[in-house]
């Protein structure tokens, strides 16, 4: 029996009936993101997304790939008046605040009807990296599709090969070099942009042309550590996102986003340590969390792909 295309095995591993993301423990059991798992960072991240919504004039935030609603709960705590909706592949999480709406999705590049309107900011944090994509490998002569068992299949062709030529050209490839074809991610991002929302924000780890990783980035996560990616539902399977091919209106790092949105954590005064020690410690903790959120080698290096200029719809980019 011929080996399956890798993209099919990847989709089944994450979103099939026994897929990794359908399991009860949810993504937070396996890795931390800006929206969950790093003390204090989620609250700052929520402030940044709310500041963006305010700047754009959005009154509804729709979180695509919402996990078990961890980030939505933080948004609700920070601004209870905000309309909130989560979308993920599981039934509504039991701990979600009653005011938050929930939509169930099939997963990957498939997206159900979304309650998006002209007041909606769609946010997708670390979603595109788990939208499966084809991978091609240089065999010494040509680019070939990598199959689910790691063997090489047919020669890369059609729109996938055109995408590779345009977005991931390799001047002098060595045998074993890999290219992760971002076309399904581009289409998924553009699909969100076509749903009638005011703006779409996809946040992810990724790369730009001129800085693509030669060996590819496919990796697994399980239980808080990286793992060999397995296509049996036992690990996450993720690859970095080619951010510049998405077609965003503006692309900037999370570090820059926090600065431009005015998210700050001034050093608490030493006087406060005497008069209100708990507030002093809170101030220090917020400062530490902001440093983590803005770390260029960590969360601060994540890319924000915003469908319109940060200054607001209709305003030209800086
Ligand atoms: C890497 S996790 C990120 C979770 C969360 N956004 C966070 O920042 O912690 C990706 C999430 O996207 C969800 N997902 C993948 N494809 C989806 C789709 N088409 N619609 C809704 N959720 C999807 C997965 O089930 C998973 O919960």
What is the DSSP code string of 175-239? TT-EEE--HHHHHHHHHHHTSS-SEEEEEE-EE-TT---TT---EEEETTEEE---TTSSSEEE-
Q: Is 309 helix (H, G, I), strand (E, B) or coil?
A: coil
- Residue whose CA is at the smallest distance from ligand 1 atom 13: 65
- Residue whose CA is at the smallest distance from ligand 1 atom 14: 65
Dist. CA 282 → ligand 1 center (Å) = 31
Residues with CB under 6 A from ligand 1: 21, 27, 33, 35-36, 64-67, 71, 87-89, 105, 107-108, 110-111, 125-127, 130
The CB density around residue 73, as the number of other CB atoms within 10 Å, is 22
Q: Is 24 helix (H, G, I), strand (E, B) or coil?
A: coil
Dist. CA 120 → ligand 1 center (Å) = 19
In sequence order, the 6+-apart residues with CB closer than 8 A to the CB of 31 are: 37, 221, 224, 236
Dist. CA 225 → ligand 1 center (Å) = 18
* pLDDT tens sequence across 137-156: 999 999 999 999 999 999 99
Domain ranges for the chain: 32-131+182-205+240-306
Per-residue tokens: 44: 């700052």
From the alpha carbon of 87, which atom of ligand 1 is closest?
Answer: 21
d(CA 234, CA 18): 9
Among 3.40.50.10860, 3.50.50.60, 3.40.50.12710, 3.90.1150.10, what is the CATH number of 32-131+182-205+240-306?
A: 3.40.50.12710
- Residue whose CA is at the smallest distance from ligand 1 atom 25: 21
d(CA 205, CA 217): 11
- Model confidence at 1, pLDDT cuts 50, 70, 90, reads low
* pLDDT tens sequence across 215-266: 899 999 998 899 999 999 999 999 999 999 999 999 999 999 999 999 999 9
- Model confidence at 2, pLDDT cuts 50, 70, 90, reads low
* pLDDT tens sequence across 17-43: 999 999 988 999 999 999 999 889 999
- pLDDT value for 25: 87
- pLDDT value for 88: 98
**Best substitution site from 86, 89, 104, 201 to test ligand 1's pocket, by max atoms within 8 Å of Cβ?**
89
The CB density around residue 227, as the number of other CB atoms within 10 Å, is 15
From the alpha carbon of 238, which atom of ligand 1 is closest?
Answer: 1
* pLDDT tens sequence across 65-95: 999 999 999 999 999 999 999 999 999 999 9
């Amino acid at each position: 029996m011929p080996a399956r295309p890798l993209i099919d095995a990847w989709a089944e591993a994450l979103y099939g009936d026994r897929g990794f993301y359908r399991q009860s423990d949810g993504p937070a059991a396996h890795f931390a993101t800006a929206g969950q798992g790093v003390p204090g960072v989620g609250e700052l991240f929520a402030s940044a997304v709310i500041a963006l919504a305010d700047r754009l004039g959005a009154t509804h935030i729709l979180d695509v790939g919402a996990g078990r609603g961890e980030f939505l709960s933080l948004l609700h705590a920070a601004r209870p008046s905000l309309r909130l909706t989560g979308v993920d592949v599981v039934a509504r999480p039991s701990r979600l605040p009653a005011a938050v709406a929930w939509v169930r999705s099939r997963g990957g590049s498939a997206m159900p009807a979304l309650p998006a309107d002209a007041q909606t900011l769609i946010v997708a944090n670390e979603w595109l990296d788990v939208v499966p994509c084809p991978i091609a490998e240089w065999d010494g002569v040509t680019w070939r599709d990598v199959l689910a068992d790691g063997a090489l299949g047919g020669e890369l062709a059609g729109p996938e090969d055109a995408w590779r030529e345009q977005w991931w050209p390799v001047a002098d490839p060595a045998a074993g070099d890999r290219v992760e074809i971002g076309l399904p991610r581009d289409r998924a991002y553009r699909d969100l942009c076509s749903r009638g929302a005011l703006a779409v924000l996809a946040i992810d780890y990724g790369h730009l042309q001129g800085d693509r990783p030669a060996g590819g980035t496919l990796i697994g996560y399980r239980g808080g550590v990286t793992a060999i990616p397995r296509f049996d539902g036992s690990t996450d399977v993720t690859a970095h996102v080619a951010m510049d091919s998405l077609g965003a209106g503006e692309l900037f790092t999370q570090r820059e986003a926090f600065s431009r949105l005015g998210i700050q954590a001034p050093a608490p005064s030493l006087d406060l340590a005497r008069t209100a020690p708990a507030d002093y410690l809170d101030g220090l903790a917020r400062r530490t969390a902001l440093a983590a959120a803005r770390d260029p080698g960590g969360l601060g290096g994540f890319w924000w792909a915003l469908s319109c200029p940060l200054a607001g719809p209709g305003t030209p980019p800086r």
